């Protein structure tokens, strides 16, 4: 099977791409940083037979269409899509400008929505597919350290997940979301600040940051053929910060 991971060159996307490749899937690493995407793909498979990097800005719908065309030419039908690309800005709510709001929404929500349309239609034609959208705890609790535009975009991603899940279920395509809380990642450490990290972890019921490798495991499970009975769901990985 072939999997496309957007925002796949760094952070959670990198962990997810590695996990899916380790399972034997051909992986298309797509990222606005095309050089980093190619570097990761080359590290996964220098031959390029089971991993390739692509430069793609998910805020550009034409770029997503071009990405699908390129992956089809290189690997054949796409069976798995992980919408991981995201833009984070920890800007105080009343300081968010219209331009910044639009830029965050363009990547986090519009990019995910467009990718679900473009790749979802392709998967529906094949009669099989797995789409996993990366949501966030911020979209469930209104955000804490992240900006209000980021939180709003991730809430919209969770709603879009249900919309596409309902539409594509009869065509063999499942659509789910994974909602991580704060992970042990450079981005979280940068937002929180190393000097505040110990105190921040005490606010998490389990007392520690999440493990990106485990989030990748959850994505891989939802992307597996056996996950046919799970769709429209949001799987929480937040250390108990949000319970429902």
Q: Which residues are catalytic?
A: 150
| DSSP notation for 140-170 | HH--SSS-HHHHHHHHHHHHHHHHHHHHHGG
Q: Which residue matches tokens 């991971």?
A: 5
Picking from 43, 144, 28, 128, the residue whose alpha carbon sits closest to that of residue 85 is 28
- Read off the DSSP letter of residue 108: I
- State the Cα–Cα distance between residues 57 and 39, nearest whole angstrom: 17
Kind plus residue range of the DSSP H or E element containing 81: strand 80-83
Handedness of CA 102, 104, 106, 112 (dihedral sign): negative
Residue 95: DSSP 8-state: G
DSSP state letter for 18: H
């Amino acid at each position: 099977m072939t999997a496309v991971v957007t925002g796949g060159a760094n952070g959670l996307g990198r962990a997810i791409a590695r996990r899916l490749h380790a399972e034997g899937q051909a992986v298309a690493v797509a990222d606005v940083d095309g050089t980093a995407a190619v570097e990761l793909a080359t590290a996964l498979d220098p031959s390029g037979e089971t991993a390739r990097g692509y430069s793609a800005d998910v805020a550009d719908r034409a770029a997503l269409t071009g990405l699908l065309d390129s992956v089809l030419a290189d690997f054949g039908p796409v069976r798995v899509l992980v919408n991981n690309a995201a833009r984070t800005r920890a800007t105080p709510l009343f300081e968010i400008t219209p331009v910044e709001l639009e830029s965050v929404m363009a990547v986090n929500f519009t990019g995910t929505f467009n990718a679900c349309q473009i790749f979802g239609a392709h998967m529906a034609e094949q009669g099989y597919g797995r789409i996993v959208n990366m949501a966030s705890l911020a979209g469930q609790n209104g955000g804490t350290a992240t900006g209000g535009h980021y939180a709003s975009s991730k809430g919209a991603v969770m709603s879009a997940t249900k919309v596409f899940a309902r539409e594509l279920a009869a065509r063999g395509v499942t659509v789910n979301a994974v909602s991580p809380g704060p992970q042990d990642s450079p981005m979280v450490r940068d937002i929180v600040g190393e000097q505040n990290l110990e105190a921040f972890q005490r606010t998490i019921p389990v007392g520690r940051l999440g493990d990106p490798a485990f989030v990748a495991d959850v994505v891989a499970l939802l992307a597996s053929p056996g996950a046919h009975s799970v769709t429209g769901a949001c799987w929480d990985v937040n250390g108990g910060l949000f319970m429902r």
